[in-house]
Structures are given as C-alpha cells and as structure tokens.
Chains A and B, each alone.
Chain A
C-alpha cells in the first residue's frame, strides 16, 4: 500500500469493530486506501466487503478476517486466525505471517496468499478459490475440496486432499500422506500454465514450476459402494 496523506486510518483502539466494518462495507470501489490499526486479534474484521478497495491491517487478526470477501484486496500484516478469507467470492487476501486452520474454507473465488504456514484444513471444501501458501500446510488440507487450486511451496501434512472432488493441489515439498481418493496426477501443459500463473500472482517469480507435483481426485469414491469400505 502506498503511504501518504490519502490513506484513511481506522483505529480499532478508538472505533468499534462495527463502526470499522460498516465503513469498509459501505464505501464504493476506489475509495481509500484504508489502514486498520490496533487490530489486536479482533475477530470478523474486514468481513463482508463488497467493493474493490484496498485494506491493510497492521497486526494480527482473529477468526474470519476478510470472511466472504468480494472484490476487495485485504492485507494482514501479521498472523491471521481461524478461517481467514472463508467463503471468499472474489478479490485477494494476503497474510504476511502464518494463518490458522480452515484458511479460505469454502472459498468460491479470489486468491489467498499466505507468506508463512497454514494450520490444518487449509482450503477445506474449497469451491473455486485459489490459495498459495509459501510455507507448509497442516493436515487434512483440501478436505472435500470441490474446485479451485492450492499451491504449497513447502510441505503438506497428513491426509492431503482427503475426499477431494475436482480441485487441484500442487506441492513443491514433501507430502506426509494422501487422504482417501487423493492421488498424484500427471502435470500437463495446461496445469503448468495454471501453476505458473498462480505463482506469478502470488509474487513467487523465482519458483520453478517443474519442481511441483500435482494431486487430485482418483474419482473412485464418487459413487458410494460398500466395496469401498476400506477407503474410509
């Protein structure tokens, strides 16, 4: 975010969460940019935004920061709690530190970039959003993920992609284990191009696309059969 006098500062030490959120939720596209100071782990901060505005949060946030985001670009200069960018529809959310569990849960669109690591269930039930994690992701990430992409530059925890549908996972490091119905898949040209574009959007200009492996659904559990009992 560019500095200068045009930045509108919203100070959570002086204003209520309701007042700060209401301001961010009701301004039009192009307003701001906004800087939120003294977040001190506040929950549900900058959630439900609908305009293409830029918001920078100076510090750590609690649960559901930028939840259900549409169009806005929200940057957390610190760590984010559970469910950052949950059910995001569009826009971008950046976390300069680590993110807790369920990051970008059920997100339909938009891009979440986490500079550090994420805890468990990153991208759970993802429905079309994109996630780039520059560190590691915790266990059960992309559980039941339906559509969208997860890119992990570090390692992935146990049961990656358990019960995954049509979402795609790219991991550069080690995968502790794959979940039910998740398998390694070939990297085609289209996949390389998609991955390269995601890495570029996340500012990972030096990352080598060839160093990643792709994972997705074996589609063996798409129809319930008792013969699949051992898979669960």
Chain B
C-alpha cells in the first residue's frame, strides 16, 4: 500500500526543530533558555573503538585478575591530595538548581563507592557536606555563599573559569527557583532572576590567577588540591595556562556538558566536543612534561564505562559526570511520564531545569516535588550506576591487557570516522593513518 506522505519532504535546513524555534521566538520575544547540554549530533567517544588483545598483546582474565581503578588527584602541591577508589567523579551542580534532596543523594552515592562530589554556584549545604566523604568546593565568579569556613572544610577547591555548556558564559537562576533558603544563601531578594557573573570579580588573566591560587593555598594551609575547571574553548592553551597558574588538577568540560539553565544557542554553538578537547589538553600536558603530574579530569557527555575508558585511554586521569548522574538519580524517569506530559514534555526529553517544575523532584525547589526524591534510595541508585561504569572500564582495560585502567593508551584505540581520527589523534580503523600527520 502506498504511503500518501512519501511526497512530503522535510527540509534538512528547516527541520521541525528549526521551524518550531522560528515559530516560538515571535510569540515570546525571548531566546530559548533550557538546561541539559548540547543535543545535536556531535563526534563522540562512540566514534572510537578499542582494538582489544590478540597475538600481539595478551588480555587479562576478566573475573580473576586485578585491575586497579584508583586515582589520586592533587599530587603537585597539595599536602592532602584526594584519593578516589574509582576514576569517576560527580561534577559541580548547585543547590538552587538542584533540590537539597538531590544534592544529598549525590553525596551519598559518590561516598558509597569512594569518589567525590562537587558543590556548585550558591555555596555548600550541610546536607551535601554531611553526606560526602570527599567534597570539592567550587570557587565561582559569583562567589554566592562563598566563605572561608566552607573553603577550609572542603577536601579540594575547584576554581571555575567556565563550563562546557557555556564557555565564557555566566549563569542565570530564574526567579521561580529563588526560594527563601536559596535567596538567603546567595544574599539576594527572594523570587528575582539571579545572574551569575561570567568573570571573577578580582582576577582576570593567568598572572592574576597565579596570585589568587596563592591566596587560596595560604588560607587553607596548602592542604587542599586546587582544580581549575574550564569549558572546552581552546583546551591546548587553557590547559597550559592553568598549569602555569599553579593548578594541581585541570578539569576540562566538553560542549556536551550539562547546565541548569542557559541560552539554547549557547549550548549548541559554543565550545568544542569532548572528544576533540581531550586530545588537545593531553597534548599540552605532555609538551610541558606535566602529564600525570597535573591530573586531568574530563567531563561532558560521559554516559557509559566505554566513554570513561576511552577518555582514560586518551590521557585523562578521571572523568566527571553530571547529566548521567541526575538520570541515575531518577531524572527523566518514565515513572513520571504523565507528569512530564502535563508540563508539555516527556520522559527522556525533559530539559527545562530552569523552570523548577521537575516531576522527578531533582531540578526543583518546590518542596512537594522535592519530596518525591528519596535521597537514600536515589543515592544507592547512583552508587550502583557508578559501579557499573567501573566494571565496564575494568572489562575494557582487561580486554586490552591492562592491570590498571590508567594504562589504557591511545594505541589501544581506532577511529570509525575520519573526523574522529583527526580529533582524537588515533588512526582510522583498518589503517595507520591519522589525519594531519601525513602518511
């Protein structure tokens, strides 16, 4: 039977999303603000495969031979580096964008498997500190809720220069999420749109940053590892300058990295994919002989143990997850399908984290919605997810003959596309050709 719609051809340029946005804009006069990260198709770690072991190298037995997953972050200057059992950390997400229950669940889940979680814009909550055995304190341009006591009770300090969803951008937390508690922590009137600055108020370039790091170390007795987090803009230069400024750890966030709220055009059109960013950052570290001396944490679109393993193989010391962690807690859960439909979304598609009406009770400050998330159960779900990622990384490492996941290397990888080969700097599968390196 002939489909009568075969003659209807969707425009590649003006697809349904483009048409929807063109129709939406005139009705509101505002650009689209949303959460999540880049949603369009990008080169990813899926464009790489591991070669595995064969005659040229032998594998390790999957269920018997040990494969170390631990990592130490902050070995350069800090008196008390962070020791993680797994190479997967929880990225910075604020109380304000997330409910207190969600922050507690993140802390519980991370602690259960021996890894760290991270504060966000808006300061440190006691729910988070109390349930996180290792907590990284973000030092952000807004300095909302920033105080030296929290700095001292953190296990590491992350100076946020940018994030993958919006390199060079600040933030906005819309008024509907500025409850009394959030407003008090940020010293702002309740209910107003809260802007987070894009630049730090008391330093600009790398020379100033060097002195800022000195101050933070002096205030914390040189104990805490200092991370510098950058969105993937110019990772080769940014990594070099972060190291020059005195970082113990560089955190690099690719454009798939999520956010609580920013302009859609920013999320989709600024920054480079994680796959491309890792190679450039590692290249910088190797050129200045700081690879493995300054640790590299990579985030942005990490979903599976395969993603983690490929990031490590390309030279990262650890990864961070944000969006995936929220999904593990229960974000976009089909259990709330009817509720998602009622607010014009659907499970698996919900991205309006700025709206504060999250049916899963995670990206909200509504007390009734927030109560839907049980921090104990959600934390355990996250821990289980982290265990699965770790088991997958070990599986892939053993398949490549590695007794430590950090022994994975670019030579274990091949690219499935010319683009991925060029970005990752590994050969196109079936060849020894790396674009840009001659033949």
Contact present for B218 and A106 (CB under 8 Å): no
A21 touches B218 (CB 8 A): yes
Output the residue of B146, B218, B219, B220 with the most chain A CB within 10 A.
Answer: B218
Q: Name 5 A/B residue pairs within 8 A (Cβ), A-sorted.
A: A48-B148, A63-B208, A89-B147, A106-B143, A125-B201
Query: Bound state CA distance, A155 and B420, in angstroms?
Result: 58
**B436 part of interface (Cβ distance < 8 Å):** no
Residues of chain A having any CB pair with chain B under 8 Å = 17-18, 21-22, 25, 43-44, 47-48, 50, 62-64, 67-68, 70, 82-83, 86-87, 89, 101-102, 105-106, 108, 121, 124-125, 127-128, 143-144, 146-147, 163, 165-166, 222-227
Answer whether residue B80 sits at the interface, using C-beta atoms and an 8 A cutoff. Answer: no
Residue ranges of B at the interface with A (Cβ–Cβ < 8 Å): 28-30, 142-143, 146-148, 151, 172, 174-175, 186-189, 192-193, 195, 197, 201-203, 208, 211-212, 214-215, 218-222
Known: A89-B148, A102-B201. A44 touches B142 (CB 8 A): no
A62, B210: Cα distance in complex, Å: 13
Q: Which of B29, B151, B197, B211 has a CB less than 8 Å from the CB of A44? A: B211
**Cβ-defined partner of B215 (8 Å) among A22, A67, A124:** A67
Q: Which residue of A lies closest to B192 (CB)?
A: A222
Most B CB within 10 A of own CB, among A105, A128, A222, A226: A222
Interface contact A87-B148, CB-CB below 8 Å: yes
B148 near A106 with CB under 8 A, answer no
Please state if A124 and B201 are interface contacts (CB–CB under 8 Å). Answer: yes
Within the assembled complex, what's the spacing in Å between the Cα atoms of A143 and B151? 24
Contacts of B197 in A (CB 8 A): 125, 144
Smallest CB-CB separation from A108: which chain B residue? Answer: B147
Known pairs A43-B211, A125-B142, A144-B195. 11 more at Cβ < 8 A?
A: A44-B214, A50-B148, A64-B211, A102-B201, A105-B143, A105-B201, A125-B201, A127-B187, A146-B186, A146-B188, A165-B192
Q: Is the Cβ of B175 less than 8 Å from the Cβ of A82?
A: no
Is A64 a contact of B202 with CB atoms below 8 Å? yes
**Quick one: which of A62, A87, A222 contacts B146, CB cutoff 8 A?**
A87
Cβ–Cβ < 8 Å partners of B148 in chain A = 48, 50, 68, 70, 87, 89
The answer, among A127, A165, A226, A227, for a CB contact under 8 Å with B143, is A127
Partner of A18, one of B172, B174, B218: B218
- A121: B residues at CB distance < 8 A: 201
Q: Return the chain B residue nearest A22 by Cβ.
A: B221
The list of the 5 closest CB pairs from A to B, nearest first, reads A48-B219, A83-B202, A44-B215, A222-B192, A102-B202
Output the nearest chain A residue to B172 by Cβ-Cβ distance: A224
Residues from chain A with Cβ under 8 Å of B220 in the complex: 48
Q: Which residues of B contact A144 (CB under 8 A)?
A: 195, 197, 201
* Chain B CB within 10 Å, residue with most, of A17, A43, A106: A106
In the docked arrangement, what's the CA distance between A121 and B197, Å? 14
In the complex, A82 Cα to B220 Cα: how many Å?
Answer: 20
Assembled-state Cα–Cα distance A191/B201 (Å): 27
> Which residues of chain A are within 8 angstroms of B189 by Cβ–Cβ distance?
165-166, 222
